[in-house]
Amino acid sequence: MTMPNDSRKGNDFTEKTRAIIGHRAGFRCSHPACRAPTAGPSAESEAARSDTATASHIISASPNPPARRRRPVGDKTELHGPDNGIWMCGTDGRLIDTDESTYTVETLRHWKRLAERRAHLAQILKRDSVVLADDDTISHPLAPLYLPVGPTRDLVDRIDTVLIEACSYEVWGAAPTHVIRELLAEIVRNAASYGGATEALLTVEPTRIHLTDNGAAFDLLSLVGHQNGRGGQAALSTVLRDWSGSIFVESEVTSEGNRYTVALIRTIKQLQAVTPCTFTLNYEAVMGHAEPVPSDYDQCSVVHLIWDIGITYSDVDEAHAWVAWLRELGKAVVLVAPPMSDGLQEFIRAKFPEERLLILRRDVA
């Protein structure tokens, strides 16, 4: 039987649609840790091609098990359009079709978007290997994920898998991701050993990662400044010392247990997206035209005081009253300021020895 040129076999994409899906991904696997090339020559003939890819359905084209990611879909043609396909190598194509709990529609759509962004950048930069973290023009979101990570012996590997699949290596870069992996692993270890935690969950949101454990209430940030502390203290100290300008860490005690938030931030706007616990010290506030409302901070154990006015040595004392006010409310204070000289940073640290200082870029309007 001869097949018409662009026919579809069963629930597969048509050849034409399949080619669009592959082309848009640069004919590379869309798994963030794989990116394997899937197109090459075959020795069988001058015209033969070797194609090792699978164009997988994001939402299943089949309404019946064992198909994964089945959804009621009104318009069937959408199921067979290029939007609903993701280009995978053979191995990863099988992987995503055996686990719909991990490889959700949202996660795969995310991978597809990043794969296409990567292919686009590779093309315009004329480079094969592109790390999105180096792409300063856009801050890419992480892929949403929700996974238990232990506590188990293979805890570090599990956390690493989550970070890979959330695209943290790609979007945040390898160096901060390693630091975050080590910190998260230490927090889970501490929670199990000292807090009796039996469960730890990682939830990845577009701009931040939450870790929750069901152990005894524990204030992570209370470890800061302790000498010769345990592993958790060492990991946290590294974050605060070497990454104070970019890795955000917060811990809070909730009714379900301890909840930690970790995020990579470079700008004040990104900080505000990660936490509602900020107060902006701008001209209005200093002049008394914008009074802060204490009840806005009921949920906050830490408040970020954002210095949004030109800052000179003479202005530093301006912050004292605000820091004192927040401390009276029982809040820890983190000072947030735009980039400045080392000398001025030293000066601020000397004036506010109890407070952390976070240096973040102002967003260009």
Burial (Cβ within 10 Å: 0-12, 13-18, ≥19) of residue 283:
exposed
- What's the closest the beta carbon of residue 104 comes to Zn ion, in angstroms? 18
- What's the closest the beta carbon of residue 28 comes to Zn ion, in angstroms? 8
Identity of the residue, 92 or 205, whose beta carbon is nearer to Zn ion in the bound complex: 92
Taking CA 319 as the corner, what is the angle to CA 316 and CA 324, rounded to the nearest 5 degrees?
135
- What's the closest the beta carbon of residue 90 comes to Zn ion, in angstroms? 8
User: What angle in degrees, to the nearest 10, is found between the helix axes of 155-165 and 174-193?
Assistant: 140
Identity of the residue, 25 or 336, whose beta carbon is nearer to Zn ion in the bound complex: 25
Which residues of the chain form contacts with Zn ion (CB under 5 A)? Answer: 29, 31, 34, 36, 89, 92
Identity of the residue, 33 or 309, whose beta carbon is nearer to Zn ion in the bound complex: 33
Identity of the residue, 31 or 181, whose beta carbon is nearer to Zn ion in the bound complex: 31
Identity of the residue, 79 or 86, whose beta carbon is nearer to Zn ion in the bound complex: 86
- What's the closest the beta carbon of residue 88 comes to Zn ion, in angstroms? 6
Buried b (16+ CB within 10 A) or exposed e, 26-48: bbbbbbbeebeebeeeeeeeeee
CA distances from 50 to 14, 24, 37, 56, 206 (A): 18, 18, 11, 18, 36
The answer to whether 151 and 161 have CB atoms below 8 angstroms apart is: no
Identity of the residue, 34 or 359, whose beta carbon is nearer to Zn ion in the bound complex: 34
DSSP 59: S
- What's the closest the beta carbon of residue 361 comes to Zn ion, in angstroms? 35
- What's the closest the beta carbon of residue 30 comes to Zn ion, in angstroms? 8
Long-range contacts of 2-5 (CB under 8 A, 24+ apart): none
Report helix, strand or coil for 85. Answer: strand
Identity of the residue, 29 or 268, whose beta carbon is nearer to Zn ion in the bound complex: 29
Report helix, strand or coil for 265. Answer: coil
- What's the closest the beta carbon of residue 100 comes to Zn ion, in angstroms? 18
Identity of the residue, 131 or 290, whose beta carbon is nearer to Zn ion in the bound complex: 131
Identity of the residue, 7 or 91, whose beta carbon is nearer to Zn ion in the bound complex: 91
Q: What's the token pair of residue 311?
A: 């800052």
- Distance (Å, rounded) from C-alpha 42 to C-alpha 78? 33
- What's the closest the beta carbon of residue 96 comes to Zn ion, in angstroms? 10
Identity of the residue, 27 or 279, whose beta carbon is nearer to Zn ion in the bound complex: 27
- What's the closest the beta carbon of residue 264 comes to Zn ion, in angstroms? 25
- What's the closest the beta carbon of residue 38 comes to Zn ion, in angstroms? 8
Burial (Cβ within 10 Å: 0-12, 13-18, ≥19) of residue 328:
exposed
Q: What is the DSSP annotation of 121-172? A: HHHHHT-S---GGG-TT--PPPPPEEEEEETSTTHHHHHHHHHHHTTHHHHT
- Distance (Å, rounded) from C-alpha 218 to C-alpha 236? 14
Q: What's the token pair of residue 106?
A: 């949202």
